[in-house]
Amino acid sequence: MKKGILAILATTVLVTTACTSQVTTEGKTMSLSNKDKAVALLTSIETGDQQAVAYVNPDKYTQHNLAVGDGLAGFGAVLQALPEGSAKVDVKRAYQDGDYVFTHTDYNFFGPKVGFDVFRFEDGLIVEHWDNLAVITPANPSGRTQLDGPTEVRDLDKTDGNKALVGDFVDTILVKGDFAQLGRFIDDGDANYLQHNSAIADGLSGLGKALEAMAQQGVKMVYNQNHIVLGEGNFVLSISEGSFAGEAVAFYDLFRVENNKIVEHWDVIEAIPAKDTWKNNNGKFGF
């Protein structure tokens, strides 16, 4: 499997077919959405589907995973390093916002992980990639996992409003820490705010207990800057940087919005490695 993928990375003729941004199957030409292409590329990590690499622009692929080298060569090197037959990829959620696609995935990628991936497209081809990964953990105090819950997109006509709501929440609550304003964004009652963070229970009460416990342990969670808010319908992803327990991190927070209130939350927090260990110079953000 790995030999086939690496071969296509090195074969200019096959990669060049990506410029058509179409797939030919049994003599029929089928156009794919950018969302479908992103999912196909991720799934190819497990299946070895060579066609999926053709959705990446071979001349312009900027990598923001700091443990991976730039371009297709970096992607190929990671695939080559994977233990044979170990990779598993199950994309649970995939959403599109303009030229961006963001996904929420159950991985076995050098061990069980949950991850968010963001892809930027130009002319139907992937030209840029960001991600945040964390180890899979047991269910939280409310019995929810890092990946379960609704997936269906609704309220497409409310996308802009939902993105604005989440942007306001991140700035007001997470960055500025004005918790007196929480009621503008989340209704009281455990059933009104479903939580998938591994350490936090449902509701504002669960959030309050978690913050209190962190304070008692001297653990600070600081959001310094939001970099981008992406959304499709009722699902909105916020990407921010800050620190957790004194360590520089990237915060990826996925929210489900209903009736102009935040009703569900998933997240991945990943440490930002020391710069002298980076495999590329593109930075973790750069949106």
Task: Give 203-216 pLDDT, tens digit per residue.
Answer: 999 998 998 899 89
Q: What is the mean pLDDT of residues 36-56?
A: 95
pTM: 0.91
Instruction: Please give the CATH number for the structural domain made up of 156-271.
Output: 3.10.450.50
Domain with CATH 3.10.450.50 in the chain: 2-136, 156-271
Helix (H), strand (E) counts: the chain? 6, 12
pLDDT band for 16, please (50, 70, 90 cuts).
very low
Q: If pLDDT is split at 50, 70 and 90, which confidence band does 27 have?
A: very low
Measured at the CA of 116, the angle between CA 112 and CA 121, to 5 degrees, comes to 135
How far, in Å, CA of 229 to CA of 254, rounded?
Answer: 10
For the residues 168-185, what does the mean pLDDT come to?
A: 96
Arithmetic mean of pLDDT, 145-149:
98
Which percentage of the chain shows pLDDT scores above 90?
A: 85
Going by pLDDT thresholds of 50, 70 and 90, the confidence category of residue 84 is confident
What pLDDT score does 31 carry? 85
CATH of 2-136, one of 3.30.300.30, 1.10.1240.10, 3.30.1180.20, 3.10.450.50: 3.10.450.50
pLDDT top residue among 9 and 243:
243
Instruction: Please state, as a whole number, how many other Cβ atoms lie within 10 Å of the Cβ of residue 14.
Output: 16
Going from the C-alpha of 66 to that of each of 41, 74, 167, 221, 253, the distances in angstroms are 19, 11, 26, 22, 20
Q: Do the bridges between strand 125-135 and strand 62-63 make them parallel or antiparallel, or are there none, so unpaired?
A: parallel
pLDDT for the residue 163 = 98
